[in-house]
Amino acid sequence: MRWALRRRFDIFSSLAKLRAAIKSRHIKQIDFKFTDLFGRWHHITVPPSRVNEKLFTNGVGFDGSNFAGMSAVESGDLALVPELDTGYFDPFRTEPAISFICRIVEADSKKPFSRDPRSIALTAESYLRKTGIADRSMWGPEFEYYVFDEVRVKNSNKTCSVEIVPGEGLRKDTFGLWTFSGYHGIPPEDTTVDIRDETVTLLEEAGIKTLYHHHEVGGHGQVEIEVDFGPLARMGDISMMVKHFARMTAHKHGKTATFMPKPLYNEPGTGMHFHQFLLKKGTNVFYRKGGYADLSPLAHHYIAGLLRHAPSLLAFTNPSTNSYKRLVPGFEAPVNCFFSLANRSAAIRIPKYATDPGLKRMEFRPPDATCNTYIAMAAQLMAGIDGIRKKLDPAKEGFGPFDVNVFEMSLKERAKIKPLPGSFAEALRELDKDHAYLLEGGVFTESMIRDWIRLKREKEIMPVRNRPHPLEIQMYLDC
């Protein structure tokens, strides 16, 4: 199978088509969406009367100093430049609207802003081409999330509580039995199928090809949507859209959709596994018939690079304190640095069902959706490229393959397998020590990485560390 790559999107391939759509669809609003450093979406809206070539060249100015880690107050002026071929009819606005995804540029020079997540993704793709290794990287993240009826949170210096009310696993049916759906569960136990139907229909109408959706393992409303493979930067766009569409559709039905890695204790966590492979002249260079799992030597080098740098990678792919409540033994969560064929306890799994040469790939399983998908994918690609350039051998590095249940191995054998970080603080320390591979080609900058580490420690790790936990009160109040 050779990949004939089409344009990312073609609803608005020219300003003429955009103007025609504005007129025929009676569009009242043009929305510009952009991603901050830590992966949150924001927007600004302009009237259709402003649509001209200058708008799509110079963009719209905004103050970047309002977003942590973006720019200082004294140099806060930035601009949003919409990408014409990312446009879609926004289904969630009351007035007819078209949304575009933007790059962030310097306000005066219009040069790419070094901390714009989308620009980082585009620079990583450019660097891959310059190495000659491949022309394009292809990505397929899995979108797992929970849908809850209600979430109540209280936080003060005297109060700390959370109550999650799921739509499944609490009510009884007419026969007095608990309704509790699970992996690929079916209605009436699967109570969210109509919400998922609506979500994927809206995604398809917005130009995103979905593969399927289903109920996941978590019995209290865990679900999954999968989309078709796409190039790195475009898949970053799609990831932002999928999360937004899932949350907005759930909100429309009076529910809350959350991509939080571990919202429920002792229930399955929510990951964002990244399937990935490389193309050169339309051919998948990860495939080689006869090798382990039909993988090429280049694919083995790529895997070794990912696993060697995995401890530091997790600072970008699992960038929250909650991430490491998911990365615990059990629940199919990967906690060790090794790869395997079809083994879901491995950090890297080679899907056994992917037998088509054009789809031969690997799946990096630790990440979750608290990541900034543009940055997380760019970092993974840089780690894989580093492995290829250094011709790293996963077997010699101690990364397997191990096609066994590692939890049934002897303690002596298990001790040879390197563990992944057990906390966000540990992952940030690893990133502090190991990030030279990210700086190649100017994809990441030293100052951005330093600020990422500093801000994550100050704004996330320390507030959680300093706050007493309700379970601590229960365990130690009588001491």
Residue 273: the pLDDT is 97
pLDDT at 219: 87
Query: At residue 367, what is the residue type?
Result: P
Q: Give the bridge partners for 223, in sequence order.
A: 145, 215
- Supply the angle between the helices 117-131 and 373-389 in degrees, to the nearest 10: 20
Q: With contact defined as beta carbons under 8 Å apart, do 31 and 97 qualify?
A: yes
Whole-number pLDDT of residue 278: 98
Q: Report whether pLDDT(7) > 50.
A: no
Average pLDDT over residues 446-475: 95
Q: What is the mean pLDDT of the chain?
A: 92
- Mapping DSSP onto H, E and C, the string for 114-180 reads CCCHHHHHHHHHHHHHHHCCCCEEEEEEEEEEEEEEEEEEEECCCCEEEEEEECCCCCECCCCCECC
Asked if pLDDT for residue 177 goes beyond 60, the answer is no
Confidence bin at 412 (pLDDT 50/70/90): confident
To which H or E segment does residue 79 belong? Answer: strand 77-82
**Close Cβ partners of 221 (under 8 Å, ≥ 6 residues apart):** 146, 147, 148, 166, 167, 168, 169, 191, 192
316-327 pLDDT tens trace: 999 999 999 999
What pLDDT band is residue 179 in, cutting at 50, 70 and 90? Answer: low
Rounded to a whole number of angstroms, the distance between the first and last alpha carbons of the chain is: 66
At residue 48, the pLDDT reads 96
Token pair of 217 as six digits: 């393992």
Please tell me the predicted confidence (pLDDT) of residue 74. Answer: 42
The answer, yes or no, to whether the previous bond of 334 is cis (omega within 30 of 0) is no
Per cent of the chain over pLDDT 90 is 77
User: Quick one: pLDDT at residue 8?
Assistant: 45
Which helix (DSSP H) or strand (DSSP E) does residue 350 occupy? strand 348-350
Question: Over the stretch 115-159, which tens digit does the pLDDT of each residue have?
Answer: 999 999 999 999 999 999 999 999 999 999 999 999 999 999 989
pLDDT above 90 (res 60): yes
pLDDT at 206: 95
Write down the pLDDT at residue 175.
55
pLDDT over threshold 70, residue 176 = no
322-360 per-position pLDDT tens digit: 999 999 976 678 889 999 986 767 899 999 888 899 999
Kindly indicate the confidence band of residue 112, based on its pLDDT and cuts at 50, 70 and 90: very high
Domains present along the chain, CATH in parentheses? 15-113 (3.10.20.70), 136-476 (3.30.590.10)
Q: How confident is the model at residue 167 (pLDDT cuts 50, 70, 90)?
A: confident
Tokens, residue 454: 């500093």
Residues acting as catalytic residues: 63, 142, 144, 216, 224, 273, 344, 363, 365
